[in-house]
Amino acid sequence: MDSLSSDIRPAPLTVLGEDERLFYHSVFEFADREVRPLVRQMDEQAHLAEGLLPKLFDLGVMGIEIPETFGGAGASFFHSVLAVEALSRVDPSVAVLVDVQNTLVINALMRWASADLKRRCLPRLAANAVGAYALSEAGSGSDAFALTTRATPRDGQWVLNGRKLWITNGAEAEIFIVFATVNPEAGYKGITAFLIERGFPGFTVAKKEDKLGIRASSTCELLFEDCRVPGDHVVGEIGKGYKTAIETLNEGRIGIGAQMVGLAQGALEHATKYTKERKQFGKTIAEFQAVQHQLARAATEVYAARLMVYEAARLRDLGRPFLTEAAMCKIFSSEVAERTTSLAVNLFGGYGFVKDYPVEKLYRDAKIGQIYEGTSNLQLQTIAKQILR
């Protein structure tokens, strides 16, 4: 089956301003033109296509909130969310690279890094350097602060020892925000964020995971063996890394919500187009009421998920509380993505189960939405705490 043509547009984005609509469509048109022809190749090879990364930098989506004085676009968090959604309609693997770059790495540096670290790192992140965010460990997934990676002061520097797992962008990144404890006895109050660069002695990007979905997005193990880090590479305050982690991940969850919305929208478009072409019993399957109702329900859920994501992003940009909304949009959009991609596979029938057609990949890609940056159970716990206060 031919790939989805670029004349298909998403549900009307009536809640967006004119500049936001133009931005969204410009990113989608880039994805449709530059990314779509590479999707299957990247999925099979589990690697970004050569030459794609510089094009993302040229497009301006790798430094959306970075001020223009540092070479960035100087736009809003909401624009980052729009870029992630637009890219995810074509390939969620590419979208999550952009998502982590903006909503986690750049966001953390903008809010907590020293003026000197900003001056040194933000122009690189806007121009050609990929960033990664390293919190998870083998024993600290949902229990995010059960860290064993240790940072010890020595001769005006920090020496890190430990191991990080499942780090998105690990293969491509030049700049890493790494969380370690400076005092295990202090619990979460010993956690500190450090800025580490590829090439620091004692730092190794190790095994790349072979994943079910979003395969072109690298997910790597990081090793720290007496890794020496300059003393001024602390992001935020010593012992306050837990605050950096919590607040950044709350914002990152909105980005994951956008990824799931875009992914679901892409699957819905593929399914809708196919039902108008596939004929059974002398008519297209789109003419059957049962199919129409399934598509209608899916379209309603995708639209609702989109509005939830947009509301959370707007609240963030307004400086208003958004913790509950971020958790709600992540859990709902990830569930909608799984249901919508499953429906798309069903409507494609046997073709939906083979790699020659696009919905099989989107179905695999959707599963991660209920796992990373806070599992669905953690989102439910967050929501419950807020509504029961």
Q: DSSP secondary-structure letter at 141?
A: S
Catalytic residue of the set 137, 251, 325, 373: 373
Distances (CA, A) of 28 to 69, 224, 272, 285, 366: 27, 38, 19, 28, 19
The pLDDT, as a whole number, for residue 9 is 53
Average pLDDT for residues 290-305, to the nearest whole number? 97
Q: Known catalytic residue: 373? A: yes
Q: Which of 94, 97, 89, 96 is nearest to 359 (CA)?
A: 89
Residue 137, classified by CB atoms within 10 Å of its CB into exposed (0-12), middle (13-18) or buried (19+), is buried
Residue in this structure with the two tokens 């959707």, named with its chain if needed: 366
Which pTM was predicted?
0.95
Q: Write the pLDDT tens digit of every residue in 91-102.
A: 999 999 999 999
**What domains lie within the chain, and their CATH numbers?**
18-130 (1.10.540.10), 132-241 (2.40.110.10), 242-387 (1.20.140.10)
* 200-201-204-205 Cα dihedral, nearest 10 degrees: 10
Length of the chain: 389
Q: Write the pLDDT tens digit of every residue in 48-62.
A: 999 999 999 999 999
Share of the chain above pLDDT 90, in %: 93
Q: Which amino acid is at 71?
A: G
Q: Is 65 helix (H, G, I), strand (E, B) or coil?
A: coil
Look up residue 150 and give its two tokens.
Answer: 């240790």
